[in-house]
Amino acid sequence: MKPMDVTASPGQSAIFIIFGLPDRQKAREPVKALCGKLPALARSLKNRFPKLGISAVMGFGAEAWQGLFPGRPTPKELTPFQEIRGERHVAVSTPGDLFFHLRGGRMDVLVELASQISADLAEVVEPIDETHGFRYMDSRAIIGFVDGTENPEPEAAQAAAVIGSEDPQFVGGSYAMTQKYLHDLAAWNELPVEEQEKAIGRRKYDDRELEEGVKPENAHNAVTNISDPDGRELKIVRANVAFANPAKGEHGTYFIGYAATFSTTKRMLENMFVGDPPGNTDRLLDFSRAISGTLFFVPSWDLLAELAEE
């Protein structure tokens, strides 16, 4: 099974679209038609602009999957995302039926692809969110630190992000967890650089990890570092980008984590928002607030073609 481009580079530009389906039965044929058409749309742009690294990902929420394809089984870990509530922080749950992640080197090309997708679905969807993201400076988050350092190396990324034999009917697929975070940049920028580094767990300018004894237990990269019972570190593939509306004072990060098992991402979020032990929550959340949260299943290209032909 050929997976979608879930391990591709975040790109210089990205568009994230989440649609709702008011009438899933009415939406079935247009959505199936787009399942068959999307690979050709993406391939056409790749051929026209071979240096831009264009990629497209399409995902389905749990209720949409069951409503659009009632005769098919459901991926093992595909359920509506449930709110994660700690004493001080909340990972909110927000609705979403269809998800598109478009990325590449130029925003105008991505807008063309997004326009084609939206036109094909216009009669059966309602827009929930559309976010245009960008790579900030030298691959940094908008808070000034390098983003994506914790991603696995390319040879390990497929195993981390793509479903394997643990769910044979969905080999080549992936679970995509999406969240939008708004940052209180004024409060963040008031912190001395040394305190910012302790919140992240890395040096700001050279991206080196803080030494043992210096990095706090509630540093961002400490609470999201998890292992299996045998002590092997568990990874996901992040494709985060910044977004902003400076006139409104909005500066944020669009988090998207692709994983072979959603349980891995869920444990990271629980560590961030609840803490392990409880109360040891992610220091970064004192300056960043999650305003959305939705889980999607991303089928392989082969399965997407099967869905189109049903």
Query: pLDDT tens for residues 2-57?
Result: 888 999 988 899 999 999 999 999 999 999 999 999 999 999 999 999 999 999 99
Q: Flag whether 268 is in a domain.
A: yes
Residue 230 appears among annotated catalytic residues? no
Among 146, 147, 145, 142, residue whose Cα is nearest residue 246: 142
Q: Flag whether 25 is in a domain.
A: yes
Q: Flag whether 226 is in a domain.
A: yes
Neighbours of 211 (CB within 10 A): 7
Q: Which residues pair with 126 in a beta bridge?
A: 20
Q: Flag whether 215 is in a domain.
A: yes
Residue 214: alpha-carbon gap to chain centroid: 30
Q: Flag whether 4 is in a domain.
A: no
- Predicted TM-score (pTM) of this structure: 0.96
Q: Flag whether 189 is in a domain.
A: yes
Separation of alpha carbons 134 and 131, rounded Å: 10
Q: Which residues pair with 255 in a beta bridge?
A: 179
Domain range spanning residue 157?
13-309
Among 200, 170, 212, residue whose Cα is nearest residue 299: 170
Count of residues making up the chain: 310
Separation of alpha carbons 58 and 4, rounded Å: 8
pLDDT-based confidence at residue 294 (cuts at 50, 70, 90):
very high
For residues 231-250, give the mean pLDDT. Answer: 94
Q: Exactly one of 147, 167, 207, 282 is catalytic; name it.
A: 147
**Ramachandran sector of residue 201 (left: φ over 0; alpha: ψ -120 to 50; beta: rest):** left
Q: Flag whether 133 is in a domain.
A: yes
Q: Flag whether 37 is in a domain.
A: yes
- Tell me if 238 sits within 8 A of 218, measured CB to CB: no
Domain count, the chain: 1
